[in-house]
Structure 1
Amino acid sequence: MSRPTSAHGQVPRAPGIGPGGLQFRSHGFWDPKLEKQRGILFKGFLPFVAVMAIFIVWGVVSIYWGSLYETNTHRLSAYVINGDPNGQIGQTISSAILNTTQPLSPNYPRRLGWVERSLADFPTAASIEESVAVQEDCWIVVRILDNATAALQSARATADASWNPANVVQVYYSQARNYQANSQYTLGAVQEILQGTIPQLNVALLGAYISSSSNSGSSAQSALLNAASRAPATIVQPVAYTTNNLRPFNQTVTIATTFVGLIYVLILAFSTTMAGHGMRQPIQPWLKLSHLTAMRLLVPLFAYFWLSLSFAALNTPFKVAFTGLNGNAAAGFFAFWAAMFTGMTVFGYVTEAFLCILGPKFIVFGLMFWIILNVSSANYPLEMLNVFYRYGYAMPFYNLKQIFLTIIFNTGRHIMILQYFGVLWAWLAVALLTMPFWFWYEQHNTIQERKAQMAGGQGYPTPATSTGVVGPAAYRSEKDLEGSNNHQDGAGNRGMPPSFTSSHTTPRSTRELGEEESHISSHGR
């Protein structure tokens, strides 16, 4: 039988298909008939905004603000090696560095943790590199030339044209260890000290030399003129400094690899968690707890395996060199992939736990908390942050970043990679041990919600429909809505679309729900 149509050939909308005479897609937002529905909306939305403002902004986001607020640069160790302790050059420069107790400028408000070390500790440039770039005992070293003052006097007396002012002061640092801290605090602070001290020192050295020559007779004056003509560097600017970047951060694209990209890895893992949550609903309610646990732990691994491989391979067309491990790019790539796979698995399992604890509606709070905790401890060196941020040594972001820096830039001791991997494996161990409990907790809460709805007289659908995959009390399409009023099935259910029958919507009793929970507790494993 054909359905009645209007003069325009359209199917008329059935009246009164909702409670209180509500009609499908026929009301304005402020319609008095929607007063109850508006109340439900506002009662849910306003508390959400309050929680976001108080808990997320002030309680979580403020953690990141705090990591940038307090910069205790005096905790960053720095060495002065004075090879000219009895000369004017060595005494002037070392004193300027070691006595820097006042703010240098608004850009560098704190001094570094300067320590004077002896020549015996660092006899060669290689020993300095070992300390700065391999052992990472300190962040920066200022090395003053051995007997610099006496060497300058000899060069002036002999008019030595080979005198190189840049060799007098050598600065050693490892930029790749933390390019932000080195650029803003360590190297910048040292350069400001030297740029303020060396010009004054050069003027003092020149004045003293001219005065000495004037008082020493014609031979000394002739030596001055000879040096000025043949070796002007010994007269005009005899002292300068050179910076030696032992581990240059010369691949800008690795900012994405070693820091920002980690946020994307976490988001990919979170997306995998939420996609898996939706796709497993048809089977999840019917599985024993042991099988549910195995499914939720093993199935995502397939996604993490390929996603981490794809993420690692993404670096190759952008010429990221994985040569930090003794120049072996192949070994570096697979080590990078292994770290990425481990890290993504950790992120995925943690978000699975958040899903069980908070549920799909509130998992965003857990995700933001997890991101902020990691990002706050992976930006600047933990030594210079407030002691609160020492938790960062146990965070996945920090340990992944250290692994990547070693693989790409050859920073630190290679053996430390095992320690960083160990932290990630510890996260995996905790996740594997606690996941069964979180899955049981999720099932327990679901059953309690069903009981509460039964007690309120609302009824509740079967487990297969409670997940949201099939909504027995909801209409599937506008076509179903239009034909629902006149439909009556064999069980006398009026107003239900033909696509649903009474067998889908018959609520189970509280006794049956209790039996289900007992079955899960006793036989779920």
Structure 2
Amino acid sequence: MQLPKEFLGGVGGSFVLIQLLFLANMGYLYGTAFNDSQRIKALKLLFVDYDHGIIGQSVKAAYSELESADFPTLTESPSIDYPSASDIQESVCKGHYWGAIYVNPDASSRLSAALASPETAETYENSQALSYIFNGAKYPAYAQTISSSLQILVQGARAGYNAVNGTAAMSKLNMTDKNIAQILLDPVSATYNDIKPTAQGVRFYYNTVTMVMVILPQFFFTMALNGISAETKIFQTFSLRKNISLRLGLSVCFTFIASLCMSGYIWAFREDWGTTSSQFGLTWMIIWLVMHLNFFIIDSATAAIPAKFMPFFILTWIIMNVSSTLSPFELSPGFYRIGYAVPAYELYQVLLDIWTHGCNPTLYRSLPILFAWWLVSMVAFLAAMRRRILSVSTKSGDPNTFNHEEV
């Protein structure tokens, strides 16, 4: 049996194009994390020394040992720039730093007094020496990296203190007192402040598979809507204005419910995550906006792109959006900062702002970008409806006949 040349050409072309499609998209996706362990140093930590004593020196000595491409960069700032711990937290909250560690006032003198006096040693708390801050809601996987790095730095400060002062102090101290001996063994520890504790099991989904769900339901609904419209000849029956009104109304209703469902399952599986009803409402609204603009984009694409090429567009659009939210841009090659212009990235930034009560202040950028996408996609949607009509008019010769495209 001899196969037609058209069949062989079509199958061969599809074979090659689909392989290239997945190769290009997965190469783009994998590229976001390529050598990211060598870029950890791009994540900045703030260090402030309110004590100006041996403990601060120990922290700096520890960092000098830890400093490498796979450890966050510790940036020291004078205490005059951060008069209080709340100023440090605000700096982390605003995104100037991924975390911060500071030496509490009089930490070194308290430690010295405890080592010199059995009575003082009995009440000494080593956790009052250092404090560190991070935001557990901001890219949860990488927030764990920040938290672990700060803990390692605290442990290094303990070892650094013993290296700098411990051996010399041992010969002068009353080592028969168990409290003094214990302090010398464990002189430095820390308290921590997680700005938004995020420990629920699904936290790793928020910036990954969840972003796919902002796009995929719109694609499925648009496919169904176009197919049903073709079967029932809605394009021929209704005028352009009625078709636009009908499809616009359906898009609003569908994305309204889809965004409610998405917000609902985020809340249903939040476990003991501290969130409020107002945060739920804001989450629902911003997801609704992004789902609606994605409906416009996909509906416009179905009018302009032949059905056999739609998978190429949808897969590429999904990969571009998801890859923009997988990891911080600091850990990806500079090219990936194109993601600033992608709706999913700005959606995630707004969600972080909502979930942390304003502790990710990017609304000045994110909301204008999202509304710009909505306006542009709305114009594209209207142009797509007009294109459908012009296409039918050209084929039928009747300007009142409306085309239906099966997608």
TM-score range for the pair, normalised by the shorter chain length: 0.7 to 0.9
Write the distance in 2 (CA, Å) between the matches of 1:316 and 1:234.
45
Residue of structure 2 aligned with 1:80, choices 32, 43, 47 = 47
Decide whether the 8 Å contact of 2:199 with 2:273 is kept in 1.
no
Residue in structure 1 matched with residue 323 of structure 2 by the alignment: 376
Count of paired positions = 396
Report Cα offsets for 1:31-80 as digits up to 9, x if no partner.
x2xx345x4443222211211122x1233221111111143333322111
Residue in structure 2 matched with residue 172 of structure 1 by the alignment: 133
Write the distance in 1 (CA, Å) between the matches of 2:229 and 2:129.
69
Query: What displacement does 1:275 show?
Result: 0.7
Residue in structure 2 matched with residue 298 of structure 1 by the alignment: 249
Q: How does 1:300-449 map to 2 (within 5 A)?
A: 300-319=251-270, 324=275, 329-410=276-357, 412=359, 416-417=362-363, 419-442=365-388
Residue in structure 1 matched with residue 224 of structure 2 by the alignment: 275
Residue in structure 2 matched with residue 130 of structure 1 by the alignment: 90
Give me the TM-score of the superposition, normalised by structure 1: 0.68
Decide whether the 8 Å contact of 1:80 with 1:94 is kept in 2.
no
Residue in structure 1 matched with residue 73 of structure 2 by the alignment: 113
Query: What displacement does 1:168 show?
Result: 1.8
Report Cα offsets for 1:58-111 as digits up to 9, x if no partner.
3322111111114333332211112343x33322322432675434xxxxx2x4
Write the distance in 2 (CA, Å) between the matches of 1:311 and 1:179.
19
Higher relative contact order (CA 8 A, sep 6+): 2
Q: 2:110 aligns to what SS in structure 1? A: helix
Write the distance in 1 (CA, Å) between the matches of 2:165 and 2:346.
49
Residue in structure 1 matched with residue 405 of structure 2 by the alignment: none
Residues 441, 257 of structure 1: alpha-carbon distance in 2 compared, 3 angstrom cutoff: same
Q: How does 1:219-230 map to 2 (within 5 A)?
A: 224-225=174-175, 228-230=177-179
Which region of structure 1 is more displaced relative to structure 2, 400-409 or 271-280?
A: 400-409
Write the distance in 2 (CA, Å) between the matches of 1:237 and 1:365.
59
Write the distance in 2 (CA, Å) between the matches of 1:445 and 1:191.
64
Q: 1:69 aligns to what SS in structure 2? A: coil
Write the distance in 2 (CA, Å) between the matches of 1:332 and 1:321.
15
* Aligned-residue RMSD, C-alpha: 2.9
Residues 402, 252 of structure 1: alpha-carbon distance in 2 compared, 3 angstrom cutoff: farther
Residues 267, 247 of structure 1: alpha-carbon distance in 2 compared, 3 angstrom cutoff: same
Residue in structure 1 matched with residue 12 of structure 2 by the alignment: 46
Residue in structure 2 matched with residue 157 of structure 1 by the alignment: 116
Decide whether the 8 Å contact of 1:259 with 1:401 is kept in 2.
no
Query: What displacement does 1:286 show?
Result: 5.5
Q: 2:201 aligns to what SS in structure 1? A: coil
Q: 1:102 aligns to what SS in structure 2? A: coil
Decide whether the 8 Å contact of 1:322 with 1:407 is kept in 2.
no
Write the distance in 2 (CA, Å) between the matches of 1:36 and 1:516.
39
| Unmatched runs of 5 consecutive residues or more in structure 1 | 1-31, 104-108, 214-222, 451-512, 521-525
Decide whether the 8 Å contact of 1:377 with 1:392 is kept in 2.
yes
Write the distance in 1 (CA, Å) between the matches of 2:25 and 2:266.
32
What amino acid sits opposite 1:61 in the alignment?
A: M
* Fraction of identical pairs, as percent: 21
Residue in structure 1 matched with residue 24 of structure 2 by the alignment: 59
Write the distance in 1 (CA, Å) between the matches of 2:187 and 2:156.
15
Which region of structure 1 is more displaced relative to structure 2, 273-282 or 389-398?
A: 389-398
Going by fraction, where is helix more abundant, 1 or 2?
A: 2
What amino acid sits opposite 1:376 in the alignment?
A: S
Query: What displacement does 1:418 show?
Result: 6.5
What amino acid sits opposite 1:62 in the alignment?
A: G
Q: 2:133 aligns to what SS in structure 1? A: strand
Write the distance in 1 (CA, Å) between the matches of 2:282 and 2:272.
13
Write the distance in 2 (CA, Å) between the matches of 1:230 and 1:303.
66
Decide whether the 8 Å contact of 1:78 with 1:115 is kept in 2.
yes
Give me the TM-score of the superposition, normalised by structure 2: 0.86
Matched, 1:210 2:176: no
Matched, 1:141 2:100: yes
Write the distance in 1 (CA, Å) between the matches of 2:265 and 2:342.
24
Write the distance in 2 (CA, Å) between the matches of 1:381 and 1:229.
47
Write the distance in 1 (CA, Å) between the matches of 2:263 and 2:343.
17
Q: 2:82 aligns to what SS in structure 1? A: coil
Decide whether the 8 Å contact of 2:208 with 2:325 is kept in 1.
yes
Write the distance in 2 (CA, Å) between the matches of 1:258 and 1:410.
18
Write the distance in 2 (CA, Å) between the matches of 1:285 and 1:364.
27
